[in-house]
Amino acid sequence: MSHTLDAIAWTLIHFCWQAAAIAGIYRLSTVLLARSTSQTRYLIAVAAMLMMVGAAVGTFAWQMRWATSSPAPHNAASTIEDASLALPRTMAPGFISQHQGVAGSTQANLLRWIDGFWVLGVVVLSVRSLGGWWMIQRLRATAIADAPEQVRESFRRIFAAMGLRRPVLLRVSSAVAGPITVGALRAMVLLPLSAITLLGPDELEMVLAHELAHVRRADFFCNLAQTLVETLFFFHPAVWWIGNRIRHERELCCDDLALKVCPNPVTYATALFRLEEQRARHWRLAMALDGHQTSQTLRLRIARILGEPVARSGGRPVQPFSLVVACVALAVSLTAARPVVASLNPAHLSASTHIASIQVSAAPQVKVIKPALAAATHLVSPGALLEAAASEPQEKQLDAAQPLGSVTSTA
């Protein structure tokens, strides 16, 4: 169990720089492919998020491989022997360094804190997502009002023009402010009651075309997978940034499909503006395809639909607080770079994983060995060494004189 927890903690640590590197590559690709289609940009954003997931899975598999390949010690004697191999040669065999033990224990505690923080964040965001799912189920159950016949006729015509095969339900609900699409297998388009009264027939057709475009692209299933990734890697800003880009490009893709079916940009832009006025007064559902757009993204969408050039700002001026945060993050990264790089070494991983268990299991043997070491130290004390050195020449002289005497007496 400890191997798995350590592997999870090191995976989260390595994910910090891996996700930042992938986000940098994605940013460079968006600059190079700024004039490409919305579908291409959407696929690039999805690929960037999948690369993050792949990097995390690969790192976890790497950590688990070395954790499971290094055999755990079976007894205290073998534990001390295995631990002594990782110690410097200047230390006596079987001696466990106190400083190394403290460092290993501190590192193990830090990894456990990282695991605890990650589990807490995942639980909180999971509760949020489950709450959104529960609200969607309530909307499905309460939205039983049928749309007017004219709206249903437009819905059937656009449904056939989109080339959809599976059935899609159309319902009217007074609990939503804007049209949303819910359901992965049994899709349902929910129209707000205000949309039927505020929008004209042409504007309503554009809205229906946009929602059916979500169904054709299976965006609800993709949104579920994206929500799962954002829940698991909630701590990294790059994940949320790329997630927002995916949602924005997804809306642009649906805009393009809607304009192919109902080519009326002015009517479409008017419908979006009126719906956003109503949507801004209500909460947003985490699991629903309701746009998740801000006023800035709405302006970009309307300008793009009308064919106007989109003025992209050169970026906000750098704030002093941002510079301080960047310097602190750089300092922390440089300080943690050495242990993070060392965690890729299987020997380091084995030593850091078992150092606490080594001390616990070796404690009884160390208590037995200490008196023997003390006695051995007393026998080889400096005074004893000097006496032995002083008596050694005399013994050699006696040994040398004894053969000489024996030869003389024999002669």
Q: What mean pLDDT, rounded, does the chain reach?
A: 73
**pLDDT over threshold 60, residue 367:** no
pLDDT at 45 over 80: yes
Do residues 300 and 185 share a domain?
yes
Domain count, the chain: 3
Per-residue tokens: 365: 């043997």
Cα–Cα distance for residue pair 171/179, rounded to 1 Å: 10
The pLDDT, as a whole number, for residue 41 is 94
**Separation of first and last alpha carbons in the chain:** 84
Q: Which of 31, 282, 73 is nearest to 290 (CA)?
A: 282
| Full DSSP string of 375-388 | HHHHHT-HHHHHHH
Q: Is residue 361 part of a domain?
A: yes
Residue 392 lies in a domain: yes
What is the percentage of the chain residues whose pLDDT exceeds 90? Answer: 27
Predicted pLDDT at 250:
92
What would the DSSP string read from start to end of 148-177? Answer: PHHHHHHHHHHHHHHT--S--EEEEESS-S
The token pair that represents 81 in the structure block: 């022997």
Segment holding 364, helix H or strand E = helix 346-379
Pick the residue with more confidence: 233 or 285?
233
Residue 129 corresponds to which amino acid?
A: S
pLDDT of residue 278: 66
Coil, strand or helix at 94: coil
Q: Are residues 106 and 204 in the same domain?
A: no
Residue 15 lies in a domain: yes
Judged by average pLDDT, the poorest of 170-174, 206-210, 229-233 is 170-174
**241 & 359 share domain:** no
pLDDT, position 301:
80
Report for 62-66, 67-71, 312-316: range of highest mean pLDDT: 62-66
What is the rounded average pLDDT of the residues 241-259?
92
pLDDT beyond 50 at 133:
yes
pLDDT given for residue 125 in this prediction: 93
Q: Which amino acid appears at position 96 of this protein?
A: I
Please determine, for residue 134, whether its predicted confidence score (pLDDT) is greater than 90.
Answer: no
- Asked if residue 406 has pLDDT above 60, the reply is no
Least confident of 163-172, 229-238, 267-276: 267-276
Q: Which domain holds residue 394?
A: 385-410
Q: What is the pTM of this model?
A: 0.69
In a domain, 402, yes or no: yes
Predicted pLDDT at 35: 87
User: Highest mean pLDDT range out of 139-148, 262-271, 284-293?
Assistant: 262-271
Q: Are residues 23 and 146 in the same domain?
A: no
Task: Output b/e per residue, 256-288; b: 16+ Cβ within 10 A.
Answer: ebbbebbebbebbbbbbebbbeebeeeeebbbb
Residues 268 and 347 in one domain: no
345: confidence class by pLDDT, cuts 50, 70, 90: low
Residue positions counted in the chain:
411
Do 192 and 248 lie in a common domain?
yes
Residues 258/308, Cβ–Cβ less than 8 Å: no
pLDDT, mean of residues 330-351: 54
**Do residue 255 and residue 283 come from a single domain?**
yes
Contact criterion met (CB below 8 Å) for 155 and 208: yes
pLDDT of 99 strictly over 80: no
Distance CA 39, CA 91 (A): 63
Residues 175 and 299 in one domain: yes
Beta pairing, strands 188-192 & 169-173: parallel
Out of 44-48, 212-216, 288-292, 336-340, least confident range? 288-292
More confident residue, 144 or 35: 35
d(CA 277, CA 375): 88
Using CB atoms within 10 A of its CB, is residue 324 exposed (0-12), middle (13-18) or buried (19+)?
A: exposed
How far apart, in whole angstroms, are the C-alpha atoms of residue 361 and residue 76?
5
261 pLDDT tier (thresholds 50, 70, 90):
confident
Specify the pLDDT at position 80.
Answer: 44
Task: Flag whether 318 is in a domain.
Answer: no
The verdict on residue 327 lying in a domain is no
d(CA 323, CA 172): 50
Give the model's pLDDT for residue 185. 79
Residue 228 has pLDDT above 80, yes or no: yes
**What are the structure tokens assigned to 186, written together?**
């049994």
Predicted pLDDT of residue 68: 65
CA dihedral 104, 106, 107, 110 (to 10 degrees): 160
Same domain, 289 and 146: yes
Q: What number of H helices and E strands is found in the chain?
A: 14, 3
126 has a pLDDT exceeding 60: yes
User: Are 85 and 208 members of one domain?
Assistant: no
Q: What would the DSSP string read from start to end of 53-86?
A: HHHHHHHHHHHHHHHHHSPPPSSHHHHHHHHHHT
pLDDT of amino acid 119:
94
Q: Residue 102: pLDDT above 70?
A: no
